[in-house]
């Protein structure tokens, strides 16, 4: 066995590029294990765990690039390094050699006067500083990074507010500005509906549904999940509403969030009351009265939010295919499940999709557990063991700490799926597949072998395993929505037509004795 | 219209920091995006980020900007004139018969690298302070010799920088600000004292320089009065030199300016012929001249309170040291001298190389040398690559500098001025280190030059400077 280590001092690559390089490096013939990573404590811990942390690597700094290869022979090791060098240089060739490169936001902003927005996705420890630099340079900011302190968030948002700039985030993964989807987003028709959302996949879902119902959007402003907390006070949602209210192209405004802190809800609804335009409010698990009192339009589900928005924006409700629940199908599935198969297991990439399905289940069942449950009694005690009805947001920090999001790397979800499929008390496994910019290039394809295997095993054990899939995307997205749905159906997966319907179907499938 | 509403109606042009495919997706959607070559500031060290943050406090930042503006203005507005040549003992402040000046930050005899020791012992023999190299080593170690950095005597010295009392110096006066800078004469290339060689041929050449070349140049300049060096430098860049490792054009221009006056001196035709042959023997004759010009301009910018502009980069073969304008006097911030990477003379291997040495990085501090690589496509082999890469080096240095010098421009970059005024804040923020073109001396005494290439200062020197200044500036 041969191990070779190379440390490149002060050589920075972002973790996503390194991951893709690592993956390719592991495919080089003869490689037993290859790691290409920055010398952070976390990465060193990973190496320690696999027995590859040499004293040399222990000395590596977080700004150093570590390359470690384990192979059968020295020769194979050397070959692998040649291959890895090629991977690095290949990347360089695709860029024009004389393209001007900038190292800082300051220098880029100074040299590119038309620049109007900064997208920041560096490690959270450095993100606030970069965001501040962007604001100082009069750039709007989409702050994708997470692990930014709430103090920094407040300071940045106040600064942005004073300067009249947007500060979307931190931990903001979705926006559509001027018809361009930023970070994670779907290809959605241009229209007259504006969205302000404290929820990434929730806003993606509403935008996709609006498109599906024939509508389109003007702007989708993400605020980051903490914007409506007591401390932050909804600074960006308030500014976002104001801007959309003044935007000529926008006729209807949709607000999306988990339930805000009460004092913030008051502020937001006060702003809604001021609006010249109709406002649809979809606060997951929220109450209707306050919204109506503020003159807003209440939506209980993402689907309802989209439908109301489209109608308020001028569509004829009778002409919309509302994709009603398929009751005969529900009866059919109920008949196939045994009395023992009582539970829903939801394995989600999208946090808000998980939340919506969970709230729908909670309307009928009491024993609904999750890693994102607000009620501590129903918060999953052991993350790795499901109980009763369990809805997992696999994009939450619990699962992503040190790992990429399941929208990019589905490996954690595949393993969990195979576990759930073995459980005889499980009636339905519900999964979302997210298409669009930033997502995996074939989210269905990577899951498919596991689905086929699980179906076979269940059949062998003499039970029906109902797998319910929801593919979130529009007919303009890549990969093709139609192809992804087709592959799932061919494997015997039932397809839900929306996030809302996915939750309702899952609940109803196991809802026999209820 | 509010800024947010402006964003809605304008085309998206994003600056992307971090995950690169976000940029690609925006371009797919007909937006524009620029991806940054970003590194964690200060290499991710919290104390450095805190120092950067502290200096960004609006009130402090304003003071620093004003100080730096003044510092850079003084660098750019300096007009260094060659006004004479004379022996060090006659002109260099603080020079004595037993003083040996050396390159880089202060260093003691016992810590000197092989090349510098070779040059010191050779100089002691040349000065008659020892009868041979063996005895010179004893003299050097005896405590009877005063060692001092060139920079602390208004001087700069190539490579080992070793300068003794009877050596002839350039005298360069700043017409704008009045300060004076000095530097030794070029011994031309290869087996020479400043590279650590010290055999009889080296001493013989030094004797001739002291007895013929130096006095002839002194007399010529008495007739000439003054020669505008900045004008010559600007022309040399237009003619393909970066004036650190390539001096072909600069040397022609300088000797062209001196020739009429040399002809007027009282020396014999044979002696004049010897001088012209010597200048023609390599193209390095003007190398030290530009160093003195740079030193003269940068000294005018030193000692401006609150300024974060680098006024010196110099190495003694063991340590790399910088001085910063806002730390007046001779405060050095140091880190270990680095390897120089580049082509080597046949027969030598990288392990023969001494570490980075010499005051010549004063040229990069001013904005030429490695910073002006785009002007000198003929020597791109030094960077191991292409003209595009050379252009890349010159444009990249703008990330760490404060201004462009309109008096010294690069044709291929549409006559943009050279990047001027290295700001330690920018270096620490970006992780981009100044690029330095330089020669490689053998690590052992007595051998001399074995190659040339590029190197970078240790980040440590800039980090220490930043930490100290962030406490000093209030």
pLDDT at position A20:
64
Per-residue confidence band for A16, with pLDDT thresholds at 50, 70 and 90: low
Among the partner-chain residues A14, A103, A180, the one whose CB lies closest to the CB of B26 is A180
Could you tell me the pTM of the whole model?
A: 0.81
Contacts of A219 in chain B (CB under 8 A): 8
| Chain A residues close to B399, C-beta within 8 Å | 102-104, 107
CB contact under 8 Å between B38 and A178, yes or no, is no
Task: Answer yes or no: do A182 and B26 touch at CB < 8 A.
Answer: yes
Distance of residue B32 Cα from the nearest chain A Cα, in angstroms: 9
User: CB atoms < 10 A from the CB of A375, how many?
Assistant: 10
Cβ atoms of A466 and A427 within 8 Å: the answer is yes
Reported confidence tier of residue A416, pLDDT bands at 50, 70, 90: very high
CB contacts of A152 in chain B (<8 Å) are none
Residues sharing a CB contact under 8 Å with residue A377, sequence separation 6 or more, in sequence order: none
Dist CA A115 CA A124 (whole Å) = 23
* Interchain proximity A12–B20, CB inside 8 Å: no
**Interchain CB contact of B93 with A (< 8 Å):** no
Whole-angstrom distance, CA of residue B173 vs CA of residue B158: 19
- Per-residue model confidence as pLDDT tens digits over A364-387: 999 999 999 889 999 999 999 999
Interface with chain B: mutation pick from A111, A120, A164, highest number of B CBs within 10 Å = A120
Please tell me the predicted confidence (pLDDT) of residue A101: 84
B372: DSSP letter: G
Interchain pair B18, A120: CB under 8 A: yes
Grouping H, G, I as helix, E, B as strand and the rest as coil, residue A512 is coil
Radius of gyration of chain B (CA): 23
B33 chain-A contacts, CB cut-off 8 A:
119
| Closest Cβ–Cβ partner in A102, A179, A247 for B5 | A247
Search chain A and give the residue with CA nearest B394: A100
- Is B39 near chain A, with CB under 8 Å? yes
What pLDDT, on the 0 to 100 scale, is given for residue A119? Answer: 98
Question: Phi-psi region for residue A10, left (φ > 0), alpha (ψ -120 to 50) or beta?
Answer: left
pLDDT band at A402 (very low <50, low <70, confident <90, very high): confident
Task: Collect all residues of chain A within an 8 Å Cβ-Cβ radius of residue B55.
Answer: none
What residues of A are in contact with residue B29 (Cβ under 8 Å)? 179-181, 437
B49 part of contact set with chain A, CB < 8 Å: yes
Does B399 contact chain A (CB < 8 Å)? yes
- Comparing alpha-carbon positions, the chain B residue that sits nearest to A250 is B8
Distance CA B287, CA B284 (A): 5
Collapsing DSSP states into helix, strand and coil, what is residue B234? Answer: helix
Instruction: For chain A, say whether B8 makes contact (Cβ under 8 Å).
Output: yes
* Partner-chain residue, chosen from B29, B388, B431, that has the shortest CB–CB distance to A181: B29
Q: Which is higher by pLDDT, A69 or A403?
A: A69
**ipTM above 0.90?**
no
Distances (CA, A) of B302 to B73, B290, B461: 12, 18, 17
Q: Compute the mean pLDDT over every residue in chain A, rounded to the nearest whole number.
A: 91
Instruction: Give B351: exposed, middle or buried? Use CB within 10 Å, 0-12, 13-18, 19+.
Output: exposed
- % of chain A with per-residue pLDDT over 70: 96
Please judge whether A243 and B15 are an interchain contact, meaning their C-beta atoms are less than 8 angstroms apart: no
In order of A156, B167, B280, B451, the CA distances from B368 in angstroms are 40, 26, 23, 20
Contacts of A120 in chain B (CB under 8 A): 17-18
Q: What is the pLDDT of residue A84?
A: 85
Compute the count of residue pairs across chains A and B with CB atoms less than 8 Å apart: 187
B41: nearest CA partner in chain A = A126
- Does the CB of B275 have a partner CB in chain A at under 8 Å? no
Considering only the beta carbons, identify the residue of B16, B33, B36 that sits closest to A103. Answer: B36
> What pLDDT is attached to residue B350?
87
Q: Which of B11, B28, B32, B36 best tests the A interface by mutation, with the highest count of A CBs <10 A?
A: B36
CA distance A375 to chain B (A): 35
474 residues of chain B, pLDDT tens digit each: 899 999 999 999 999 999 999 999 999 999 999 999 999 999 999 999 999 999 998 899 999 999 999 999 999 999 999 999 999 999 999 999 999 999 999 999 999 999 999 999 999 999 999 999 999 999 999 999 999 999 999 999 999 999 999 999 999 999 999 999 999 999 987 789 999 999 999 999 999 999 999 999 999 999 999 999 999 999 999 999 999 999 999 999 999 999 999 999 999 999 999 999 999 988 899 999 999 999 999 999 999 999 999 999 999 999 999 999 999 999 999 999 999 988 877 778 889 999 999 999 999 999 999 999 999 988 887 766 788 889 999 999 999 999 999 999 999 998 999 999 999 999 999 999 999 999 999 999 988 888 888 999 999 999 999 999 999 988
* Chain B residue with the nearest C-alpha to that of A440: B21
Q: Does B406 touch chain A (CB under 8 A)?
A: no
pLDDT of residue A14: 63
CA dist B50 and B58 (Å) reads: 15
CB-CB neighbors (< 8 A) of B17 in chain A = 105, 118-122, 130
Chain A residue at shortest CA distance from B46: A125
- Looking at residue A261, the DSSP 8-state letter turns out to be P
Q: Does B471 touch chain A (CB under 8 A)?
A: no
The predicted pLDDT at position A41 comes to: 77
Asked whether the predicted pLDDT for residue A92 surpasses 60, the reply is no
Q: Do A116 and B10 touch (CB under 8 A)?
A: yes
The tens digit of pLDDT for each residue in A272-313 reads 999 999 999 999 888 899 999 999 999 999 999 999 999 999
Torsion, Cα A406 A408 A412 A415, to 10 degrees, reads: 110
CB–CB of A182 and B14 under 8 A? yes
Closest partner residue to A14 among B3, B18, B395, by Cβ?
Answer: B18
* Coil, helix or strand at residue B250: helix
Q: Does B2 touch chain A (CB under 8 A)?
A: yes
Closest CB to B25 among A61, A105, A437: A437
> Is B414 touching A (CB cutoff 8 A)?
no
Q: Name the residue of chain B whose CA is nearest to A98's CA.
A: B388
- Is the CB of residue B415 less than 8 Å away from at least one CB of chain A? no
Measured between beta carbons, which residues in chain B are less than 8 angstroms from residue A102?
15, 34, 36-37, 399
- B7, A166: Cβ pair inside 8 Å? yes
Can you tell me the mean pLDDT for A238-266?
96
- Provide the pLDDT confidence category of residue A495 given band limits of 50, 70 and 90: very high
Measure CB to CB from residue B4 to each of A102, A118, A166 and give the nearest one. Answer: A166
Within 305-364 of B, beta carbons closer than 8 Å to A belong to none
Position A97 scores a pLDDT of: 40
Residues within 8 A of A (CB atoms), B 182-211 only: none
Nearest one of A177, A335, A308 to A244, comparing CA atoms: A177
CB spacing of A104 vs B36 below 8 angstroms? yes
The C-alpha atoms of residue B154 and residue B145 are separated, in whole angstroms, by 20
Distance CA B188, CA A28 (A): 52
Cis peptide bond upstream of A370, omega within 30: no
Sign of the CA dihedral with A302 first, then A308, A313, and A317 last: positive
Is the pLDDT confidence value at A99 over 80?
no
Is the CB of residue B13 less than 8 Å away from at least one CB of chain A?
Answer: yes
Closest to A271 in 3D by CA, of A239, A249, A223: A239
Task: Tell if the CB–CB gap between A14 and B19 is shorter than 8 Å.
Answer: yes
pLDDT band at A19 (very low <50, low <70, confident <90, very high): low
- Does position A514 have pLDDT exceeding 50, yes or no? no
pLDDT of residue A510 exceeding 50, the answer is: yes
Q: Do A178 and B26 touch (CB under 8 A)?
A: no
Contacts by B138-144 with C-beta closer than 8 Å and gap 24+?
Answer: B140/B100, B140/B109, B141/B109, B141/B110, B144/B98
Kindly determine whether residue A239 and residue B9, on different chains, have CB atoms separated by under 8 Å: no
Dist CA B291 CA B288 (whole Å): 5
Give the one of B41, B391, B459 whose C-beta lies nearest to A129's C-beta. B41
User: Is the bond preceding B69 in cis, omega lying within 30 degrees of 0?
Assistant: no
């Amino acid at each position: 066995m041969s191990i070779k280590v190379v440390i490149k001092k002060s050589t920075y690559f972002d973790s996503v590029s390194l991951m893709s390089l690592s993956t390719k490096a592991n495919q080089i013939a003869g490689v037993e294990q290859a790691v290409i990573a920055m010398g952070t404590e976390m990465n060193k811990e990973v190496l320690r765990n696999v027995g590859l942390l040499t004293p040399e690597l222990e000395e590596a700094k977080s700004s150093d690039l570590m390359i470690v290869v384990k192979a059968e022979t020295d020769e194979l090791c050397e070959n692998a390094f040649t291959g890895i060098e090629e991977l690095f240089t290949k990347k360089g060739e695709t860029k024009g050699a004389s393209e001007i490169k900038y190292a800082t936001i300051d220098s880029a902003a100074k040299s590119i006067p038309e620049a109007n927005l900064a997208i920041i996705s560096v490690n959270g420890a450095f993100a606030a500083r970069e965001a501040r630099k962007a604001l100082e340079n009069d750039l709007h900011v989409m702050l994708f990074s997470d692990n930014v302190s709430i103090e920094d968030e407040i300071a940045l948002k106040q600064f942005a507010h004073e300067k009249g700039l947007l500060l979307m985030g931190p931990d903001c993964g979705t926006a559509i500005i001027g018809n361009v989807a930023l970070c994670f987003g779907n290809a959605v028709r241009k229209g007259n509906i504006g969205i302000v959302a404290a929820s990434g996949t929730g806003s993606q879902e509403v935008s996709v549904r609006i498109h599906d119902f024939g509508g389109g959007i003007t702007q989708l402003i993400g605020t980051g999940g903490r914007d409506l907390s007591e401390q932050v006070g909804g600074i960006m949602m308030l500014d976002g509403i104001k801007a959309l209210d003044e935007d000529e192209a926008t006729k209807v405004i949709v607000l999306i969030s988990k339930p805000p802190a009460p004092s913030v809800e008051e502020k937001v609804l006060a702003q809604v009351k001021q609006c010249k335009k109709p406002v649809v409010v979809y606060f997951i698990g929220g109450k209707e009265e306050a919204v109506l009192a503020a003159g807003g339009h209440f939506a209980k589900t993402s689907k309802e939010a989209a439908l109301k928005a489209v109608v308020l924006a001028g569509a004829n409700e009778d002409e919309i295919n509302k994709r009603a629940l398929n009751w005969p199908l529900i009866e059919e599935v109920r008949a196939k499940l045994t009395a023992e198969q009582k539970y829903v297991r939801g394995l989600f990439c999208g946090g808000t999709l998980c939340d919506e399905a969970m709230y729908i289940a909670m309307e009928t069942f009491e024993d609904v557990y999750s890693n994102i449950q607000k009620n501590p009694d129903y918060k999953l005690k052991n993350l790795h063991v499901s109980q009763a009805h369990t809805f997992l947001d696999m994009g939450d920090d619990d699962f992503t700490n040190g790992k990429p999001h399941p929208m990019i790397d589905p490996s954690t979800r595949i393993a969990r799926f195979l576990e759930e499929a073995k459980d005889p008390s499980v009636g339905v496994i519900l999964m979302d597949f997210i298409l669009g910019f930033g997502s995996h290039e074939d989210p269905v394809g990577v899951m498919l072998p596991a689905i086929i295997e699980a179906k076979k095993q269940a059949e062998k054990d003499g039970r029906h395993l109902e797998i319910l899939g929801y593919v979130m995307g529009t007919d303009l997205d890549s990969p093709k929505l139609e192809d992804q749905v087709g592959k799932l159906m061919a494997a015997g997966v039932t397809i839900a037509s929306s996030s809302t319907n996915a939750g309702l179907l899952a609940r109803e499938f196991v809802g026999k004795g209820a | 219209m509010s800024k947010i509403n402006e964003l809605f109606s304008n085309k998206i042009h994003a600056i992307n920091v971090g995950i690169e495919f976000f940029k690609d997706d925006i371009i797919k959607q007909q937006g524009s995006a620029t991806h940054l070559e970003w590194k964690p500031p200060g290499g991710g060290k919290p104390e450095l980020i805190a120092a950067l943050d502290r200096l960004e406090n609006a009130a402090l930042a304003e003071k620093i900007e004003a100080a730096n503006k003044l510092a850079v203005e003084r660098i750019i507005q300096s007009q260094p004139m060659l006004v004479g040549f004379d022996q060090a003992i006659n002109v260099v402040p603080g020079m004595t018969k037993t003083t040996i000046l050396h390159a880089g930050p202060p260093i003691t005899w016992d810590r000197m690298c092989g090349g510098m020791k070779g040059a010191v012992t050779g100089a002691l023999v040349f000065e008659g302070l020892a009868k041979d190299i063996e005895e010179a080593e004893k003299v050097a170690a005896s405590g009877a010799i005063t060692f001092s950095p060139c920079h602390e005597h208004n001087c700069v010295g190539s490579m080992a920088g070793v300068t003794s009392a009877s050596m002839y110096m350039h005298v360069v006066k700043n017409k704008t600000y009045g300060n004076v800078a000095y530097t030794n004469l070029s011994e031309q290339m290869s087996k020479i004292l400043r590279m650590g060689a010290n055999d009889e041929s080296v001493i013989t050449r030094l004797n001739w320089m002291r007895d013929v070349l130096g006095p002839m140049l002194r007399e010529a300049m008495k007739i000439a009065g003054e020669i505008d060096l900045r004008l010559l430098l600007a022309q040399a860049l237009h003619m393909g030199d970066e004036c650190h490792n390539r001096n072909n054009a600069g040397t022609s221009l300088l000797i062209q300016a001196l020739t009429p006056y040399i002809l007027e001196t009282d020396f014999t035709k044979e002696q004049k012929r010897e001088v012209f042959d010597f200048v023609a023997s390599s193209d390095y004759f003007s190398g030290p001249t530009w160093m003195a010009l740079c030193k003269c301009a940068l000294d005018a910018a030193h000692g401006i309170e609150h300024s974060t502009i680098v006024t010196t980069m110099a190495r003694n073969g063991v340590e790399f040291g910088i001085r910063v304008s806002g730390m007046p006097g001779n405060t050095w911030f140091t880190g270990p001298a680095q390897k120089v990477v580049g082509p080597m003379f046949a027969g030598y291997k990288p392990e023969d190389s001494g570490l980075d040495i010499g005051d010549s990085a004063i040229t990069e501090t001013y904005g030429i040398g490695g910073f002006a690589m785009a002007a000198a496509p003929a020597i791109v082999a030094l960077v191991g690559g292409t003209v595009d890469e050379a252009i890349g080096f010159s444009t990249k240095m703008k990330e760490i500098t404060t201004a462009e010098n309109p008096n010294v421009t690069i044709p291929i970059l549409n006559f943009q001025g050279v990047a001027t005024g290295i700001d330690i804040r920018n270096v620490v923020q970006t992780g981009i280190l100044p690029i330095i073109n330089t020669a490689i001396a053998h690590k052992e005494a007595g051998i001399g030059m074995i190659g040339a290439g590029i190197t970078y200062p240790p980040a440590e020197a800039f980090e220490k400077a930043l930490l100290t200044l962030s406490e000093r500036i209030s």
